[in-house]
Amino acid sequence: MADHFQLRLVDSRMLAPTVRHLVFERVDGQPLAFQPGQFLQVHFHYDDGTATKRSYSVATVGDGSSPVQRIEIAVSYVEGGAATRLLGELPVGGVVDASGPYGRFCLQEADRHPRYLLLATGTGVTPYRAMLPQIEKLLAQGGREVVLLYGARNEAELLYGGEFEAFAQAHPGFTFHACLSREARAVPRPGDRHGHVQHVLAELGPHADRDIAYLCGNPNMVDAAFTALKEYGLPVPQIRREKYISSR
Query: What pLDDT is recorded for position 248?
Result: 58
Average pLDDT of the residues of the chain: 94
CA atoms within 13 A on the CB side of 182: 7
Burial class (CB in 10 A: 0-12, 13-18, 19+), 54: buried
Query: How much is the pTM?
Result: 0.95
Surface-to-core class of residue 56, CB atoms within 10 Å of its CB (0-12 exposed, 13-18 middle, 19+ buried): buried
Reported as a pLDDT band with limits 50, 70 and 90, residue 63 is: confident
* Predicted confidence (pLDDT) at residue 23 exceeds the cutoff of 80: yes
Over residues 189-216, the pLDDT tens digits come to 999 999 999 999 999 999 999 999 999 9
Percent of the chain residues topping a pLDDT of 70: 98
Percent of the chain with pLDDT over 90: 89
pLDDT in tens, 238-248: 999 998 776 65
Res 2: pLDDT: 77
Residue 65: pLDDT band with limits 50, 70, 90: confident
pLDDT for 140:
96
How do residues 128-146 score in pLDDT, each as one tens digit? 999 999 999 999 999 999 9
Helix axes 161-170, 126-140, angle to 10 degrees: 0
What is residue 246's predicted lDDT score, i.e. its pLDDT? 64
Of residues 14 and 64, more confidence is placed in 14
